[in-house]
Amino acid sequence: MRTTKPFLLLLMLCLTGFAYGQTITGEIIDKSSRSPVAAATIVASKTKKSVVSDADGKFKIELNGDKSIEVSYVGYTTQTVGITNALNYNIELEPSNSSLDQVVVVAYGSQKKANLTGAVTTVDVSKTMQSRPVTDPTKALQGVVPGLTITYGNGGLTAGPSINIRGIGSLNGASKPLIMVDNVETPDLSIINPNDIETISVLKDAASTSIYGARAAFGVVLIKTKSGKKNQKTSVVYSNNFSWNKPTVLPDFSDPVPELDALIAANARVNANNPETFGMKLTTLRAGIKNWRRNMPTTERAMKWCRVKILNLIRQMAACISTAYGMQKTS
């Protein structure tokens, strides 16, 4: 009896160490072609430890209490494999055709993604625009499409965005992409209502020049707006957005009278008899400002009030209502 207890204790320790320090190996192959799948990712379910298969599709991973591993690779269906007492696993991955069946708008029609040869990116409009309170499509597209760069030169109300696809393509001329809305060229994307957009596709490479010509050398942004469909029930959609804009920094202008005094004194030191700027005599301009302040003090106070009260908080409201219906022959 005394010799049995240490033996059982030793056996339990061995089994525990085997379960929590198990190292497994395996091979990953394509189920259709039976060829090895290189660079596949193997992730442990509990510890999240990951390894990558080699050029022959083989891998080796150490598990610590993990009950399963997850094997994934681009173009294949992710597979979860349960861990047993076996030390070697043969895993077969099935090709995934779901991403290739996606319909992409290209030029004057649409086709499946599997038939494309150029670099095309589609935008999920429902997540990018419809779920966000934006009034400018360019701001909604910032950081969404890989290779699409949208920047603003300044914060002016009428300042348009600068759009580039895959960087600057010309040192001398403009490198703006061609923007097509329902196959009609649009110079500025920001004038389009985000609620009217149904699909957005970005053609990135120069292959689009075979359809649109040299103007598409820097890429094309294709936008398709919403329209009615056959046998569609009448639907009315209303959206409203209230917002408040506040400038981060307002320029603080100096008092013009002391500024003119300094300019006149500087001209006097260089013996300038009649100092002027852009045809305006500084002495006459200073006298005019003093006279305006003396005779119209209320106007000056009103301007200061507008600067503090109005410019510090700008209210904005955007309301949109749309209706759609479709019959057998009209939509």
Whether 287 is in a domain gets the answer yes
- Name, in order, each residue with C-beta under 8 angstroms of 27's C-beta and a sequence gap of 6 or more: 36, 56, 57, 58, 59, 89, 90, 91
What are 41-90's pLDDT values in tens digits? 999 988 889 999 998 999 999 998 889 999 998 878 899 999 988 899 99
Residue 199, in any domain of the structure: yes
The answer to the question of residue 241 being in a domain is no
List the beta strands (DSSP E) in the chain: 22-30, 41-44, 50-52, 58-63, 68-72, 79-82, 88-93, 103-106, 109-112, 120-123, 148-152, 161-165, 178-181, 184-185, 197-203, 220-225, 235-245, 276-277, 280-281, 314-324
277 and 302 inside one domain: yes
| Cα three-residue angle 217-223-224, rounded to 5 degrees | 140
Instruction: Specify whether 85 is located in the same domain as 115.
Output: no
Looking at the structure, do residues 186 and 302 belong to the same domain, yes or no? no
Query: Is 209 in the same domain as 132?
Result: yes
pLDDT at 176: 82
Residue 194: its pLDDT value, please? Answer: 84
Q: What residues in the chain have per-residue pLDDT under 50? A: 1-19, 114-115, 117
Please report whether residue 248 resides in a domain: no
Same domain, yes or no, for 46 and 118?
Answer: no
Instruction: Identify whether the C-beta of residue 119 lies closer than 8 Å to the C-beta of residue 204.
Output: yes
If asked whether residues 83 and 122 sit together in one domain, one would say: no
Taking the C-alpha atoms of residue 120 and residue 202, their distance in angstroms, rounded to an integer, is: 6
Question: Which of 93, 109, 136 delimits the end of a domain?
Answer: 93
Same-domain status, 106 and 216: yes
Q: Domain span at residue 148?
A: 100-225
pLDDT of 210 reads: 73
195 and 260 belong to one structural domain: no
In a domain, 261, yes or no: yes
User: Do residue 104 and residue 221 come from a single domain?
Assistant: yes
Residue 244 belongs to a domain: no
Strands 220-225 and 178-181: parallel
Same structural domain, 208 and 261: no
Which of 58, 93, 128 is where one domain is finished? 93
| CATH code (residue 133) | 2.170.130.10
What the block records as the tokens of 62 is: 């150490």
In a domain, 322, yes or no: no
Give the CATH number for residue 12. 2.60.40.1120
Does residue 62 sit in the same domain as residue 113? no
pLDDT of residue 110: 56
118 and 59 inside one domain: no
Which residue among 93, 119, 150 closes a domain? 93
| pLDDT attached to residue 310 | 59
Supply the pLDDT for residue 8: 45
pTM metric for this prediction: 0.47
What pLDDT shows up at residue 42?
93
Distance CA(98)–CA(19), nearest Å, equals: 37
C-alpha of 82 from chain center: 38
